[in-house]
Amino acid sequence: MSTSNHLSKKISQILDYDLDKRLINLVKMLRVVLVVFMIVYLAACLFSISNKLFDFLMHQGALNFPSMKVLLTDALFTLIVLAIVNALFIRNSFDYALTFLEIAFVVVIRKLILLDTTPDENGTLLILGGISAVFFALIIYIHGLMRQWREKEPKVMDEASK
């Protein structure tokens, strides 16, 4: 009876491993599909912004402020999509988190640009400005830490090789 229990446990482990392997492959395939979709979407964003720029230049010559605002918000949105596509290729979780912090910073800045500056929106502008300042400070701090870690890394490798 113990051999049948042992055999059933082995079969269960084999099936669990096989199921895990299949699910991991499915997730990898879905990731590739998402990457391809986002690359096509990024190409559409770039085509759209270049088309708007060409149209504005052909109709206006020198750009006025409202058309520059439209182009800037489209460019920031395209930058967000580009950063997301870039993040899909990152394998290191720390760099992945830093990239999404940078994306959040760009999203907040884009929101600040889109908000009309009316007296009713002063509180919102102040909060978004504070959040963007905190994000910016975090990004600069983390990049400084990463630079320090990279400078220390060769020394550790040299000491390990001795």
CA distance 150 to 154: 7
> Domains in the chain: how many in total?
2
Residue that is last in its domain, among 65, 89, 113: 89
- The pLDDT of residue 19: 81
- The pLDDT of residue 37: 93
- 101 in the same domain as 67: no
**Structure confidence at residue 159 as a pLDDT band (50, 70, 90):** low
Mean of all residue pLDDT scores within the chain? 80
- 77 in the same domain as 14: yes
- 78 in the same domain as 24: yes
- 60 in the same domain as 119: no
Residue that is last in its domain, among 89, 121, 144: 89
Q: Is 80 exceeded by the pLDDT of residue 39?
A: yes
Q: Is 90 exceeded by the pLDDT of residue 86?
A: no
- 99 in the same domain as 72: no
- 122 in the same domain as 155: yes
Give the mean model confidence (pLDDT) for residues 103-113: 78
CA distance 121 to 126: 9
- 99 in the same domain as 42: no
- The pLDDT of residue 44: 93
CA distance 99 to 79: 12
Residue that is last in its domain, among 64, 89, 114: 89
- The pLDDT of residue 26: 93
**Structure confidence at residue 157 as a pLDDT band (50, 70, 90):** very low
CA distance 153 to 147: 10
- The pLDDT of residue 158: 53
**φ/ψ bin of 6: left (φ > 0), alpha (ψ from -120 to 50), beta (otherwise):** alpha
- 107 in the same domain as 155: yes
Q: Which domain holds residue 150?
A: 92-162
- 63 in the same domain as 3: yes
Q: Is 60 exceeded by the pLDDT of residue 51?
A: yes
Convert the pLDDT of each residue in 67-78 to its tens digit: 888 888 888 888
- 121 in the same domain as 59: no
Convert the pLDDT of each residue in 11-31 to its tens digit: 777 777 788 888 889 998 998
- 3 in the same domain as 79: yes
